[in-house]
Amino acid sequence: MAVDYLALQAGLQPLRLAAHDFVEQKSWTYQDFDRDVQKFAAALRARGVAAGDRVAVLAKNRVALVLLHLACARLQAIYVPLNWRLSAPELRLLLEDAEPALVLGDAQLASSGLEGVDLDAFATEAMDFAPPPALPYDQTVTSLILYTSGTSGKPKGVMLSERNCWATGQNFSVLASLRDDSVVLCDAPMFHVIGLIGNIRPTFMRGGAILVSDGFVPSRTLARLADPAWRVTHYFCVPQMAAMLRAEPGFDPAKLRNLVGIFSGGAPHPADAIKAWTRHKIPLANGYGMTEAAGTVVCMPVDISLIEDNLAASGLVPPEVEVKIVNDAGQALAPGTAGEVLVRGANVSAGYWRRPAETAAAFTEDGWYRSGDIGSLDENGFLHLVDRKKDMFISGGENVYPAEIEGALAGYEDIAECAVVGVEDERWGEVGHLVVAPWPGRVLREADILAYLEPRLARYKIPKHITIMETLPRNGAGKLVKAVLKKALLETV
């Protein structure tokens, strides 16, 4: 009996490529990979790791991290990947919260000053164990804790089960047209839901191959996407990464014809940026999800005509995920009407690690997860996102969504990044305050920005204040922290 989809593929196609590690320059067949997961599980057990124990890891991407995660799942232990971009004090807080039985890591662990076991040494040790038989295990218990970025406070540990992870594998593999000949380049960090689940589980479920890189380097990533020896079919990134790939001197769309699609999430992807790919016959598919839903909730098809006909959409809802749009009273809204996005399904987390009050607040009584995002569903089943609920402000009685203003500025070439926050105003209640950062060597002028926005937005949406900064504040996960930005603006008044 196959205990999970990895084991199933090891039986179905034992000699097909499952994974390649660019750092180690090593490849695994499905048979090899399934065997090494069991070796890692044996090594963990020998170190005293038991069901329910946490195993924390601080390391850059490598295949060993996937082996560890799946080994923990089969032991019924809990894998806890840590963000190596965080400071040592931030990491200590996460370790205090998780209370791991074992900490593993690479040079990132050594440089942090935290104690733990060298990952290379552990991997070598694991290879000396005979792989025990894989036994059925409960896939409904927590196998993974992913800490959220903490944009609104202390990071929370999202508890995900194997059922959640494989449900995302099922949903996304269909949405993104993954098959047994798919090849996924993985350089999104594996402390993030896309890096650890979105890249891995759909691919293994369908019997494709993962190519694991230790990080995004535009020139290197572009070369790998174009390499005919690897024939990469799927790549996941955020909009800024996609833009950096296009800006590379060696960018040649003709060399990317093996791509079934580039998949983007984490931030709005402007229509012009999407068309910059589709005009070269390369699908750029928007997606929407969150850690609490084990990654992707909806995704655009990889059909270029559908993408171009629905440039403002985030994607279609698959059958095994439920999405509902509600007003502040929790009442379902008609198609095309904006409200809070609620999500329910086998992919959705049971809640937050040791945070019962926050878990209760995040879910309705009948099990819907409150995303905090504002969106609408159209009559064809496409989800359209508007903004974060908490970022919306009311100016003169009108709802204003910062993401709409930020999106309007996506085509302003001199702006590297921007953000809008609502600030108090005696006349209008609240007005928008736009903060912009220029590209190096570029000059931004307030009058030029206002002139650019005036034909594109209603007057009540146009920011009343503009501040130019060198960079915008971001947290350890690279996400913009609007609370910090707003505080800094208030302190300068």
The domain that contains 373 carries what CATH number? Answer: 3.40.50.12780
Q: Both 346 and 415 in a single domain?
A: no
| Domain-ending residue, one of 319, 350, 385 | 385
Q: Quick one: pLDDT at residue 492? A: 66
Q: Both 369 and 430 in a single domain?
A: no
Q: Please count the structural domains in the chain.
A: 2
Contact indicator for 290, 296 with CB cutoff of 8 Å? no
CATH code of residue 483:
3.30.300.30
Contact indicator for 172, 198 with CB cutoff of 8 Å? yes
Based on C-alpha coordinates, what's the Rg of the chain?
23
Q: Both 129 and 241 in a single domain?
A: yes
Per-block mean pLDDT, blocks of 10 residues, the chain (493 long) = 95 98 97 98 98 98 98 98 88 95 96 95 97 96 88 78 98 96 96 95 98 96 97 92 90 96 84 92 95 95 96 93 95 95 97 96 96 93 84 79 84 89 83 92 93 86 91 72 78 63
Q: Both 167 and 239 in a single domain?
A: yes
Distances (CA, A) of 447 to 174, 454, 463, 465, 467: 47, 11, 12, 11, 12
Q: Both 165 and 255 in a single domain?
A: yes
Q: CA-CA distance, 446 to 197, in Å (whole number)? A: 42
Q: Quick one: pLDDT at residue 152? A: 46
Q: Both 447 and 319 in a single domain?
A: no
SS (H, E, C) 292-326: HHCEEEEECCCCHHHHHHCCCCCEECCCCEEEEEE
Q: Both 379 and 404 in a single domain?
A: no
Q: For 376-418, how does the pLDDT look when each residue is reduced to its tens digit (9 = 90+)?
A: 999 999 999 887 777 878 887 777 878 888 888 888 989 988 9
Q: Both 397 and 377 in a single domain?
A: no
Contact indicator for 407, 387 with CB cutoff of 8 Å? no
Q: Quick one: pLDDT at residue 153? A: 54
Contact indicator for 196, 190 with CB cutoff of 8 Å? yes
| Domain-ending residue, one of 385, 400, 423 | 385
Cβ-proximal residues to 392 (8 Å cutoff; 6+ apart), any chain: 374, 399, 400, 401, 402, 422
Q: CA-CA distance, 138 to 161, in Å (whole number)? A: 9
3-state secondary structure at position 75: helix
Query: Per 3-state DSSP, what percentage of the chain is helix, strand, and coil (rounded to 5)?
Result: 35, 25, 40
Look up the domain containing 122 and give its range.
5-385
Q: Both 377 and 423 in a single domain?
A: no
Q: Shortest CA distance to 211 belongs to which of 379, 22, 485?
A: 22
Contact indicator for 208, 22 with CB cutoff of 8 Å? no
Q: Which residue type does 443 have?
A: V
Q: Both 443 and 336 in a single domain?
A: no
| Domain-ending residue, one of 355, 385, 415 | 385
Angle at 100 between CA 95 and CA 52, to 5 degrees: 135
Residue 299: beta bridge partners?
A: 287, 316
Q: CA-CA distance, 319 to 308, in Å (whole number)? A: 23
Q: Both 407 and 303 in a single domain?
A: no
Q: CA-CA distance, 4 to 137, in Å (whole number)? A: 9
Cβ-proximal residues to 298 (8 Å cutoff; 6+ apart), any chain: 175, 287, 288, 289, 314, 315, 316, 317, 318, 321, 323, 383
Q: Both 86 and 200 in a single domain?
A: yes
